[in-house]
Chain A
Amino acid sequence: MGLDTRAQERQPEVGTKTAGAAPAPRRRRRPSPGWLYVAPALAVFAIFVAYPIVATIRSSFYDYDGISPIREWVGLDNYREMLGGLDPYFWKAVTNTLLWTVVTVPVQLAIGLGLALLLDGALRGRVVYRTVFFMPAVLSSAVIAFAWGWIFNPDEGVATRVIRATGGTGQAWLAEPATAIWAAFGVSAWRYSGLFMLFYLAAMQMIPRDLYESARIDGASWWQRARRITVPQVRPMTMLLTLFGVIGAFREFEVVYILTRGGPAHATDLLSIQIFDQAFDLSRPGYAAAIATALLALTAICAIVLLRLISWANRSVE
């Protein structure tokens, strides 16, 4: 195969012991040995990820209850119900998912960058600080939801006690639609900011030190150096973290599900929670699959847009 031969000339495959000799032109197509290495991973991926993606889209055209074997083809009915205003909670979840993205991503970027700026220098105890801020990233959703569930407990929670001690009345943070989503945002910021900090610190290590030296000679203050050197230099990391953050927001599920189950009154409902509710609590896996397809599409669109933006931004930097 022509293409294959050229590739081999450019990059001799090991195991071809006659790599130095001119390769004879091949007549028959022969699969590259590269496939052998890729095949096991592809197989596992195909069974547990690729097939379920395809099956999700397929299921979204059916109506069934998940128990009886009867599946009724309903065409676009699920989508009509979802998009056509028959299911107001779907749009609530879309709004919440987007709100989640536009609120938590900038907050996590800001806190992460701020912490990294403060901890990049010779500060005493910086290792302890880093450890403390990064710690939530290794804890499980179950533990985090339990701990924060107690902080927000309407009767005895720490947050409630603080409010009471300062003269306010008790506050049922997670039981009030107005506060529940902000409480959940807070938990998310607490959980992931330290991870963002860590990535920013890694990026800051790569900044050439002489940039700072010459700025210092020119009499630039710490703030000026941070603003003029550090922040622009870590911009590629900011782009990458934005992408991570957006994808993370679409993946968000467990902590909110355990804390509030999307309530009260769908105030913290996310698309991922709706999928779960529709499939397993309301026994409508077909409809859940339609929501899941919407989530897949939304993720893909955001990822493509952001990747374009990142490559455009990186090009304009150079």
Chain B
Amino acid sequence: MSPTTTSRAARDRLAWSHLALLPLAVLWLLPIALLLNGALRTSTADIFSVTPSGLTLENLIAVWRETDLLRMFVNSTVVTIASVVAVVVLGSLAGFGLAFYRFRGSGIVLLILLSGIMLAPAAIIVPLYELILDLGLLNTYPALVGPYTALGLAASVLLYRNAFLALPNELREAASLDGAGSFRIYLRMYLPLARTATVTIAILQGLAAWNDYILALLFMTDGKHETVQLAFIAFQGQYFSSLPKQFAVMAIVMLPVLIIFLVAQRAFVSGLSAGAVK
């Protein structure tokens, strides 16, 4: 595919590619564009207008002022960061234990943890709700951090274990001869060397925790601990008659992730594809 070998046929092919890709790209952008456009209009009649005139930030500002979106962002941030840290710490420890030591039962432990990858959260929602209720965790951060962490552990343990197994044996032998204990080797050598895995896991877990709707809907019911994903139902009544403000709420929910994604696009793409091919 080097430019020197670009023949006429290859140029034609590239032109055809755009013909196929452009309409698809428009279709892919449409829902997002529609949402942003609606958020920037003040009157309901204009929501489907496509002319650039009449765009305003008024709704976004008004919605931000009139609602508790800030509190919801704080809640989402706390829950997301806590579960990312937990998944990185617990997952890397377990991945280290499973990669470094071979002990009786380690195969079963790995299999049990990995079964979590396939689990549909809906399948355990009934007892999970009862558990959260019984533990008195309803409307507390641990009600979300606990399940998010547990559900994210499978992928995290697998990725860390693979990353650690890929490290050369000589490394740990050298460190061990220098008298480093195993925890020291984990903390000072393995964890820093598995940076790629950490980025991947942080992205996966961060997205899963930030974007979760259903556990938040069930476990955060008191109006103080709601996460941003619940914003629409929380303010639906308040903005029942104002479509532009409904759009504005959802745009504010969407924008941070979209902006972070566009800025750190490279990290997202390489992180996720590194996780895919190992």
Number of interface residues of A (CB under 8 A): 110
**Stretch from A53-61, A83-91, A100-108, A166-174 at the B interface:** A53-61
Q: Are A41 and B91 in contact (CB under 8 A)?
A: yes
Q: Per DSSP, are chain A's interface residues mostly helix, strand or loop, or mixed?
A: helix
Flag whether A45 is at the interface (Cβ < 8 A).
yes
A125: chain B residues at CB < 8 Å are: 18
List B contacts of A55 (CB < 8 A). 124, 126-127, 130-131
Given A37-B96, A40-B94, A198-B272, check contact A121 B104 (CB 8 Å).
Answer: no
The prevalent SS among residues of B at the interface is: helix
Complex Cα–Cα for A257 and B112 (A): 29
Q: Are B129 and A279 in contact (CB under 8 A)?
A: yes
A158 touches B34 (CB 8 A): yes
Whether A1 is near chain B, meaning CB under 8 Å from some CB there, is yes
User: When the two chains form their complex, are residues B130 and A129 in contact, meaning their CB atoms are under 8 A apart?
Assistant: no
Contact: B176 with A14, CB < 8 Å?
yes
Is the beta-carbon distance between A276 and B122 smaller than 8 angstroms?
yes
Tell me, rounded to whole Å, the shortest Cβ–Cβ distance linking A310 to chain B: 14
Q: Most A CB atoms within 10 A — which of B48, B120, B246?
A: B120
Complex interface: chain A residues within 8 A of B229 (CB): 140-142
User: How many angstroms from the CA of A4 to the CA of B261 in the assembled complex?
Assistant: 46
Complex Cα gap A206–B274 (Å)? 11
CA distance in complex: A268, B232 (Å) = 22
Name the residue in A15, A120, A143 with the highest tally of chain B Cβ atoms < 10 Å from its Cβ: A143
Given known pairs A10-B102, A135-B261, the reply for A38 and B97 (CB within 8 Å) is yes
Instruction: State whether the Cβ of A47 lies closer than 8 Å to any Cβ in chain B.
Output: yes
- In-complex Cβ contact of B93 among A37, A199, A216, A276 (8 A): A37
- Cβ contacts under 8 Å, B54 to chain A: none
- Cβ of A185 < 8 Å from any Cβ of B? no
Q: Is the CB of A203 closer than 8 A to any CB of chain B? A: yes
Measured CB to CB, the nearest residue on chain B to A223 is: B13
Q: Is the C-beta of A22 less than 8 angstroms from some C-beta in chain B?
A: no
**Interface contact A34-B103, CB-CB below 8 Å:** yes
Enumerate chain A residues within 8 angstroms of B57, measured Cβ to Cβ: none
Interface membership of B136, Cβ < 8 A:
no
Known interface pairs A121-B1, A135-B261, A147-B35. Does A38 touch B98 (Cβ–Cβ under 8 Å)?
yes
- A-B pair count, CB < 8 Å, reads 318
Flag if A275 contacts B277 (CB, 8 Å): no
Cα distance A11–B229 in the bound complex, in angstroms = 47
> B167 on the interface (CB 8 Å rule)?
no
Task: Tell me, yes or no, whether B163 is within 8 Å of chain A by CB.
Answer: no
Contact (Cβ within 8 A) A14 B121: no
Chain A residues 147-169 with CB under 8 Å of chain B are: 147-148, 150-151, 156, 158, 161
Given A44-B150, A138-B207, A53 contacting B124 (CB threshold 8 A): yes
A-B contact pairs, 27 of them (CB 8 A): A11-B101, A17-B176, A34-B101, A41-B90, A42-B94, A42-B109, A48-B131, A48-B147, A49-B153, A56-B123, A118-B17, A135-B28, A135-B258, A142-B213, A143-B250, A144-B31, A146-B35, A148-B31, A198-B269, A199-B272, A202-B276, A247-B120, A253-B122, A280-B129, A292-B125, A295-B122, A299-B119
Interface residues of B (CB under 8 A from A): 1-3, 5-6, 9-10, 13-14, 17-18, 20-21, 24-25, 27-32, 34-35, 38, 47-48, 86, 89-91, 93-94, 96-98, 100-104, 106, 109, 112-113, 116-131, 146-147, 149-151, 153, 157, 172-173, 175-177, 179-182, 185-186, 207, 210-214, 218, 229-232, 246, 250, 253-254, 257-258, 261-262, 265, 268-269, 272-274, 276-277
